[in-house]
Copies of this chain bind each other. A is one copy, B any other.
Amino acid sequence: MADYIYPITRLIECFRRLPGVGSKSAARMAFGVLEMPENEAEEFCAAIRSVKHDVGRCCVCCNLSDKDKCDICSDPGRDESVICVVEDARAVNALERAHEYTGTYHVLGGVISPMNGITPDKLNVKELIARLNGDVKEVIIATNPDIEGETTAVYLSKLIRPLGVKVTRLAYGVPVGADLEFADSETLARALEGRREF
């Protein structure tokens, strides 16, 4: 009898299925649920159901949305002539937090990864191409700076450039506030390569 009673074990198992959750944190969270007020637990269930039922994809940019067209695509203040291509909704959120970008987005829904069976046709690539209707002047590729993100960036640039649209890539370099001593050499090489005049 070294296990918890079934209802608790079952909830621990549910938490363990979530990304980045080990057995100890799963147990701590299950006890958290046990101790929370009844109405908070009901709210939790309702919130889980809601993300499964109410969240779809924006018909323009493929970002997560609870409406047919997301808030960014519906915003007349956003510059529709620039599209920033990202892997997922979290990247959109990160870029929005920078309060710097005023164009629109396109969410690929992943990156090309033949090892995992993700080929370009599994991503929202044709939806992106369909948006390049002549009004779009620039596509900024903002996939993650890793091998798969790079592969996807190269693939997209080869696909888009022939359409007469400018294709750019987010700058590589040392992160603001970082210590050069701890930057990896690949990042430093890219930072030197991409250096700019004052």
- Which residues from chain A sit less than 8 Å from chain B, CB to CB? 1-8, 10-11, 13-14, 17-21, 25, 27-34, 36, 38, 40-41, 43-45, 47-52, 54-55, 64-66, 70-72, 75, 89-90, 93, 96-97, 99
Contact = CB atoms under 8 A, between A and B. Distances in A.
A45 B38 CA distance: 13
A64 B28 contact: no
28 contacts: A4-B89, A4-B93, A5-B64, A5-B66, A5-B70, A5-B71, A7-B47, A7-B50, A7-B54, A8-B51, A8-B55, A10-B47, A13-B47, A14-B40, A14-B47, A17-B32, A20-B28, A20-B29, A27-B90, A31-B89, A31-B90, A33-B51, A33-B52, A34-B52, A41-B49, A41-B52, A45-B48, A48-B48
A168 B21 CA distance: 37
A61 to B, nearest CB: 13
Nearest to A88: B31
Nearest to A66: B5
B97 A2 contact: yes
Contacts of A75: 1
A55 B14 contact: no
Nearest to A47: B11
Contacts of A31: 19, 89-90
Between A14, A40, A66, the greatest number of chain B beta carbons within 10 A of the residue's beta carbon is seen for: A14
Given A13-B47, A14-B48, 7 more contacts: A5-B64, A5-B66, A10-B50, A17-B40, A19-B29, A33-B52, A45-B45
